[in-house]
């Protein structure tokens, strides 16, 4: 086999690999976004109807679908510009090009401890709250219009933000890593018809951000004090403090522990056991 043949094979493999890489990230993002999932289904229906019209010789329907197919790409770009920008930002923040800071065991323990301390206080005193933890998908479009803080995470800070009559208590707090990035953020509300009508705006916003991203949203009800966590397009309603803590611990685990060994596992168990000891 000559060098030119090897180079030709390499370029073809690279070409296919890049194509599959793009398709993988597109399908991955569509799966985590309810709006894009509906759009994708709509596109499949239009394509199916187009083939059906040609097969059955439906001229009127075929001409109408041709107009839709010709103008649909431009309409999608105009209508879904924020989502497209978010996809590009997510690709830029993916593991290939350098993702967000991966928290160590101690940092994850601190994040969970500070959040749960504030949640416990707000649950007991019936203070409404919405705390969002950014993961792989960037939340820049919700951070930019909000009030920037860039402060170290602490339970006292979270409680003071959501304390009644505070100007920022109505919006959401967004965390990036172990830092409070902003407060007073306005999030998209879920349009899921299966949600109970008894749930208020905070719960719908928590579910909405979990539908449009892979973020974790912790919600405390102002009326009942109940704690709920929205993650992976699902709302885990009325959790106990222990269930909420364990769900956060599991969700904040790195997706890939490249250099994970037995010593780190022991260290993590000791950290979380020490947290329980402090609370008891």
Cα 127 from Cα 159, distance rounded (Å): 9
| Whether 109 contacts 271, CB under 8 Å | yes
Write down how long the chain is: 280
pLDDT at site 3: 81
Q: What is the pLDDT of residues 45-95, one digit of tens each?
A: 888 888 888 888 888 888 888 887 777 777 777 766 766 666 665 555 444
61 touches 53 (CB < 8 A):
yes
Token pair 């912790």: residue: 218
* Integer Cα distance of 12 and 239 in angstroms: 52
Q: Which of 51-65, 120-134, 237-251, 255-269 has the lowest mean pLDDT?
A: 255-269
**What is the Cα–Cα distance from 262 to 275, expressed in whole angstroms?**
20
- Work out the pLDDT band at 280, boundaries 50, 70, 90: very low
Hey, what domains does the chain have and what are their CATH numbers? Answer: 3-92 (no CATH), 105-254+264-279 (3.40.1700.10)
The tokens 């364990």 sit on which residue?
A: 246
Is the pLDDT at 5 greater than 90, yes or no?
no
Whether the Cβ atoms of residue 162 and residue 121 lie closer than 8 Å to each other: no
- Residue 280 and residue 274: Cα distance in Å, rounded? 10
Alpha carbon distance, N-terminus to C-terminus of the chain? 70
CA–CA separation, 143 and 140 (whole Å): 5
Give yes or no for residue 239 having a pLDDT over 90: yes
Calculate the average pLDDT of the chain: 80
268's CB contacts (< 8 A; 6+ apart) are: 105, 109
Lookup: tokens for 186: 């306005």
Would the CA dihedral through 29, 32, 38, 41 be positive or negative? positive
Q: At what angle do helices 155-162 and 105-124 cross, to 10 degrees?
A: 40
Q: Give how far Cα 263 sits from Cα of 105, 113, 183, 267, Å.
A: 12, 22, 37, 6
- Cα angle at 110 between 186 and 223, to 5 degrees? 45
Q: Residue holding tokens 């902003």?
A: 182
Task: At 249, list the tokens.
Answer: 């611990």
Residue-wise pLDDT tens digits, 157-211: 999 999 988 888 889 999 998 999 999 999 988 877 778 778 888 999 999 999 8
Provide the 3-class DSSP secondary structure of residue 263.
helix
- Among 175, 172, 164, 199, smallest CA distance to 188 is for 172
């Amino acid at each position: 086999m000559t060098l030119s043949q090897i180079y030709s094979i390499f370029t073809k493999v690279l070409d296919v690999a890049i194509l599959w890489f793009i398709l993988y990230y597109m399908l991955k993002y569509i799966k985590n976004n309810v709006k894009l999932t509906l759009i994708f289904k709509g596109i499949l229906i239009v394509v199916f109807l187009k083939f059906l019209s040609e097969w059955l010789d439906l001229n009127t329907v075929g001409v109408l679908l041709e107009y839709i197919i010709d103008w649909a790409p431009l309409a999608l770009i105009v209508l879904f510009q924020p989502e497209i920008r978010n996809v590009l930002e997510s690709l830029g923040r993916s593991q290939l090009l350098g993702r967000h800071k991966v928290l160590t065991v101690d940092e994850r323990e601190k994040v969970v401890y500070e959040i749960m301390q504030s949640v416990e206080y707000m649950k007991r005193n019936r203070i409404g709250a919405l705390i969002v933890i950014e993961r792989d998908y960037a939340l820049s479009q919700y951070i930019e219009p909000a009030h920037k803080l860039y402060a170290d995470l602490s339970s006292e800070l979270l409680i003071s933000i959501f304390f009644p009559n505070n100007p920022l208590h109505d919006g959401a707090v967004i965390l990036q890593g172990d830092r409070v990035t902003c407060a007073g953020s306005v999030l998209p509300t879920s349009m899921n018809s299966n949600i109970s009508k008894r749930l208020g705006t905070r719960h719908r916003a928590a579910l909405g951000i979990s539908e449009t991203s892979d973020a974790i949203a912790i919600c405390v009800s102002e009326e009942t004090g109940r704690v709920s966590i929205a993650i992976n397009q699902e709302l885990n309603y009325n959790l106990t403090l222990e269930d909420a803590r364990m769900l956060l611990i599991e969700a904040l685990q790195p997706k890939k522990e490249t250099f994970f060994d037995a010593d780190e596992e022991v260290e993590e168990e000791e950290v979380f056991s020490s947290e329980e000891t402090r609370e008891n």
